[in-house]
Amino acid sequence: MNFDDDSELAGKVQQGDRNAFETLLTRYERPIHAFTFHFFRDPALCQDLTQETFLRAWRFIGSFRLDEKFSTWLYSIAKNLCIDEIRRIQKGTTVDIETVDPELFATDSDAGWDPLRATVLAQEGDALRRVVDRLPEKYRTCIILFYFNELTYEEISAVMKVSLSNTKILLFRGKKMLLDLYHREFSPRDVTRG
């Protein structure tokens, strides 16, 4: 997939071209949905956040500068919506963000599919996601953008509106926190002690 023409498409959208917007929507709908899914594993909520991201992109396309990277601008919108949703949830309104269905990790389309291995991988993935959920928002966002959405340091810096050096620091600290939390939560206990 070639993203070089994103700015050109965004320019056409600024002029009212709905087909250009549809092309961008098709190109980025799954990555944005995947991004929101790492924050909230509620498919309906993630779909709503994805749709709201594109509604806001359409509404505010005039503010997009053609010398910016469109994907960075779009991820910024999605990130802000996720942060707003986290704040709304923390104020007392609850959303069911239970674990991911293991079916998302295990499909029988692979010739060598092993249900036991798939179950173990699903459990490990679920444990890792629970730990990621416990990270402070800025570290969680950085980790998700880097590892799950595979954005570069520069792209993360633009999405999070921090310097490149701060992005690297956030990622370093986030990885350390993640590792510490994971080991505390899931390291085997010493059963010989009483």
Helix-helix angle 18-37:43-59, to 10 degrees: 140
CATH of residue 50: 1.10.1740.10
Convert the pLDDT of each residue in 24-48 to its tens digit: 999 999 999 999 998 888 899 999 9
Q: How many structural domains does the chain have?
A: 1
Is position 162 within any domain? Answer: no
Is position 58 within any domain? Answer: yes
60 or 92, higher pLDDT: 60
Give residue 110's pLDDT. 43
| pTM assigned to the model | 0.61
DSSP symbol at 62: G
Listed residue (115, 120, 48, 49) closest to 80, CA to CA = 49
Convert the pLDDT of each residue in 76-131 to its tens digit: 999 989 888 887 877 754 334 344 343 443 344 444 444 455 555 555 666 677 78
Is position 37 within any domain? Answer: yes
Listed residue (85, 104, 91, 92) closest to 39, CA to CA = 85
Listed residue (153, 174, 151, 177) closest to 163, CA to CA = 153
Convert the pLDDT of each residue in 131-177 to its tens digit: 888 889 889 889 888 888 888 899 899 889 999 999 999 999 988 88
Is position 82 within any domain? Answer: yes
Residues of the domain holding 6? 1-98
Is position 4 within any domain? Answer: yes
Give residue 91's pLDDT. 73
